[in-house]
Chains A and B, each alone.
Chain A
Amino acid sequence: MSIKYYAKISGTGMCVPDKVLTNFDLEKIVDTTDEWIRTRTGMSERHIASENEAASDLTYKASLKAIKAARIRTKDIDMIIVATISGDYPFPSTACVLQQKLGLKGFPAFDISAGCTGWIYASNIAKQYIENGIAKNILVIGVEILTKITNWKDRGTCILFGDGAGATIISRAKPKDISRFIDSELSADGTQYDLLIQKAGGSRIPASKESVEENLHTVYMEGNKIFKNAVRSMYSACDIILKRNYLDVHSIDWLITHQANMRIIQALGKKLKIDEKKVIVNIEKYGNTSSATIPMALDEAIRDGKIQHGDLVLMASFGAGLTSGSLLLRI
């Protein structure tokens, strides 16, 4: 495919619920300690949705901030892609609910299911639609309310997740713009689909009294196997994209990885031999917000003045599927 235009991130925004759940709060729910959680995950607290808060609510607020940052009008948006595995409803898509909230209609809106790699997958799709000239301003969001599908009796997983939304506007870059998507690399290993899974609620095991009693509607994860896969697949996605663009890891200004676990981020950083100061980490405040971690970390780093216009950023993620992917871009 020939590229007619380049795509760039023109604005970002994020939203987390007001309610905060600290490690000390978790000590009262399951048999765990603040120290245990911090040493194994790097997390101190996470935000959790209230009873009447759903994915599209966070998405809407994050989107308004991204639209403002991109300096476009809401009606300039010509496509919406939401990456989520915990949308408002099994169907319709959260993207359509968001479209209604924004007072828009008449263009494509759809969700992407790629677990924690969701935003990387979604932004890669948006990139194609910008590059071939079909769309000009695509709203791409990673949002998750995982705490509503968390098994609160499993101390190995319930400590990990938080809720949040990260929104980005992916726009057509002007010819002289230095901001642009440079390259992307997506992959999946379906042979390991059952390592990270919500077992019931689909056509394999429809919702029933038994499926609820057996806790099959909550996140099931084989943590140790995921850990190994995460480090390996993100390293591979980064290595491929760096080599393909004749880049050394030292030429990267910032690395933003999926914020799943501090130990995974550290293991990946060590393997890539990247300077620790270049690795964006906000896991201590938000926990693992799945598909929202990368756009949230990007938004925060831009607003904090860490990531500046023109910086070369490498992003990498992995998630249920098992999916993985990387992105190389100039902000």
Chain B
Amino acid sequence: MDIKAKVTELIVEELGVEASEVTLEASFIEDLGADSLDTVELIMKFEEEFDLDIADADAEGLTTVGKAIEYLEKHLN
């Protein structure tokens, strides 16, 4: 599974941004205009799509697109 492509697709859908804006360095809140509830909804979306549980303590650290992809790649393989 191409995790990066799927994550980008979910972010585009959830936050209503352009795929080109979803760079690895992009911060959900600072760059992609997410509010605190958007980030929770996004984490829930990841959990559903990838069928895994992301602990609250881990979720707090997933502030950028790159960090989210890195976390998912590590926990899915």
Chain A interface (Cβ within 8 Å of chain B)?
39-40, 223-225, 227-228, 231, 261, 263, 267
Contacts and interface: CB of A to CB of B under 8 A. Distances in A.
Interface stretch (B3-11, B21-29, B35-43): B35-43
B35 A228 contact: no
B35 A225 contact: no
A225 B37 contact: no
A224 B40 contact: yes
Nearest to A271: B48
B12 interface: no
B28 to A, nearest CB: 13
Contacts of A263: 37, 41
A40 B36 CA distance: 9
B44 A40 contact: no
Contact of B44 (A223, A231, A261): A231
Main secondary structure of the interface of A (DSSP, over half): helix
Nearest to A39: B35
A40 B56 contact: no
Nearest to A224: B40
In this complex, which of A39, A40, A227, A228 has the most chain B Cβ atoms within 10 angstroms of its Cβ? A228
A224 to B, nearest CB: 5
Nearest to A232: B44
Given A40-B35, A224-B40, 20 more contacts: A39-B35, A40-B36, A40-B37, A223-B36, A224-B36, A224-B37, A224-B39, A224-B56, A225-B56, A227-B37, A227-B40, A228-B40, A228-B43, A228-B44, A228-B56, A231-B44, A261-B37, A263-B37, A263-B41, A267-B44
Nearest to A41: B37
Query: Which 6 A-B pairs give the minimum distances between C-beta atoms?
Result: A224-B40, A227-B40, A263-B37, A228-B40, A225-B56, A40-B37
Nearest to A263: B37
Interface of B: 35-37, 39-41, 43-44, 56
Contacts of B37: 40, 224, 227, 261, 263
Contacts of B44: 228, 231, 267
A224 B44 CA distance: 11
Contacts of B35: 39-40
A271 to B, nearest CB: 9
A263 B40 CA distance: 11
Given A39-B35, A224-B36, A267 B56 contact: no
A232 B27 CA distance: 26
Contacts of A223: 36
A76 to B, nearest CB: 46
Contacts of B43: 228
23 contacts: A39-B35, A40-B35, A40-B36, A40-B37, A223-B36, A224-B36, A224-B37, A224-B39, A224-B40, A224-B56, A225-B56, A227-B37, A227-B40, A228-B40, A228-B43, A228-B44, A228-B56, A231-B44, A261-B37, A263-B37, A263-B41, A267-B41, A267-B44
Nearest to B38: A263
Contacts of B36: 40, 223-224
